Homo-oligomer: A and B are copies of this chain.
Amino acid sequence: MTLTRIAEEVGVSAMTVSNAYNRPDQLSEALRERIFEAATKLGYHGPDPVGRSLRRQRTDVVGVLYSNPLSYAFGDAAAVSFLRGLSSVTEEADLGLLLVPAAGGASGERDPRAAAQAAVDGFVIYSMSDEEPLLRAALGRRLPAVVIDQPLTEGAPFVGIDDEAAARTSAEHPLHLGHERFAVVSFALSPDGREGIADLDRQERAAFRVSRLRLRGYRAALEGAGLPWSEVPVYECPGSDKELGRRAAGALLSPEHRPTAVLALSDQLALGVVEWATAHGISVPEDVSVVGFDDVPEAAVADPPLTTVHQDHAEKGLLAGRMLVSQLREEDGPSAGSLATRLVVRGSTSPPRER
């Protein structure tokens, strides 16, 4: 069933049928009625969205690109909060949200064609590595876009936090409590899926801006307190979930030279560390303090509640949404937004047992 078919049926031009749906004021009420009647009779349900998009050169859809398989996003409380904020703006603006699939084979390489084939008016790009082909494909289309957290890309509006300063502040807290033996649990530095202790070189070459900056912040804090960074083990996980945190804890919390404080780049990792420690008779915070990052809802209700860096993910989504919408409307809005963070001190940190 098409517009034209209805037009024939009613004995008017296709244009008039189109107007019946899109500009009610352009035709008489009576004719409009007749048209809808015919449409109902023939089972026509309004102008085809694809034809319409082709003609109008817009889709009223925003594409979301996520650095991991899509299904991970729904397992990540930070991403979910972000999407909540984002969707409230896009829905308000009557835009659909297209979660772009980019399954990617076993290699973890995501298919850049996904971005090329998405019928969207703009992109929200969430936390991609600097070199991701998917990112380049998306940006290459020269549609309006907003990049979240990373990477900082020439010409692409950006929303994020001051990762370095936030990390620094979070490391200064255990430092003030008197800690001197640290370990760090990081999520991926680069998208190659490596797991284990990352040396200095790898830390500095990290393809993920966020990882790079947070490590830099920790380092600045520790060195500022006179502690040599080279002695701080940085355990890199290929992702960010509790299981990986547990594995990292297993590697880091072995009896010999156990750290008294663990800094984690995410709450998921931190929570995993706490779980592993607790399960192995190492009590938090008495034996080891743990600091997270994100302030995921679970952080507040965990046992012990997690000391962490709070960032407002929903707000981030809101801001990103607003920036994109104003680009789509060709208004000018801010080309970058920075969100505040604050350290939330809870029960997972305390002074070290023996100083």
Chain A positions near chain B (C-beta within 8 angstroms):
43, 45-47, 49-54, 59-61, 69-71, 73-75, 80-81, 83-85, 87-88, 90-92, 94-103, 113-114, 116-120, 137, 140-142, 298, 301-302
Q: Which residues of B contact A74 (CB under 8 A)?
A: 80-81, 83-84, 87
Contact A94 B103 (CB under 8 A): yes
Q: Which residues of B contact A53 (CB under 8 A)?
A: 50, 119
- CB A267 to nearest CB in B, in angstroms, measures 14
Question: Which of B83, B88, B103, B119 is within 8 Å of A50, CB to CB?
Answer: B119
Q: Which residues of B contact A99 (CB under 8 A)?
A: 87, 96-99
Given contacts A49-B117, A119-B53, contact A92 B81 (CB under 8 A): no
By beta carbon, the residue of chain B nearest A95 is: B101
Contact A71 B91 (CB under 8 A): yes
Contact A88 B117 (CB under 8 A): no
State A53–B71 Cα separation when bound (angstroms). 25
- CB A22 to nearest CB in B, in angstroms, measures 11
State A75–B53 Cα separation when bound (angstroms). 31
**What are 5 A-B residue pairs whose CB atoms fall within 8 Å in the complex?**
A46-B117, A49-B117, A50-B59, A71-B84, A75-B84
Q: Which residues of B contact A101 (CB under 8 A)?
A: 87, 90-91, 94-97
Q: Which residues of B contact A119 (CB under 8 A)?
A: 49-50, 53, 59, 61, 119
Copies in the assembly, this chain: 2
Contact B96 A96 (CB under 8 A): no
Contact A113 B46 (CB under 8 A): yes
- CB A240 to nearest CB in B, in angstroms, measures 16
Select the residue from A43, A74, A92, A100 with max chain B CB neighbours within 10 A.
Answer: A74
Contact B96 A100 (CB under 8 A): yes
Question: Which of B45, B75, B81, B94 is within 8 Å of A140, CB to CB?
Answer: B45
Q: Which residues of B contact A118 (CB under 8 A)?
A: 49, 96
State A140–B142 Cα separation when bound (angstroms). 36
Given contacts A103-B91, A301-B298, contact A97 B96 (CB under 8 A): no
Q: Which residues of B contact A87 (CB under 8 A)?
A: 70-71, 73-74, 99, 101
Contact B100 A98 (CB under 8 A): no
Q: Which residues of B contact A81 (CB under 8 A)?
A: 74
State A53–B94 Cα separation when bound (angstroms). 22
State A54–B73 Cα separation when bound (angstroms). 30
Contact B98 A103 (CB under 8 A): no
Q: Which residues of B contact A114 (CB under 8 A)?
A: 94
- CB A139 to nearest CB in B, in angstroms, measures 10
- CB A89 to nearest CB in B, in angstroms, measures 9
Contact B45 A141 (CB under 8 A): yes
Contact B60 A117 (CB under 8 A): yes
Q: Which residues of B contact A97 (CB under 8 A)?
A: 70, 98-99, 101
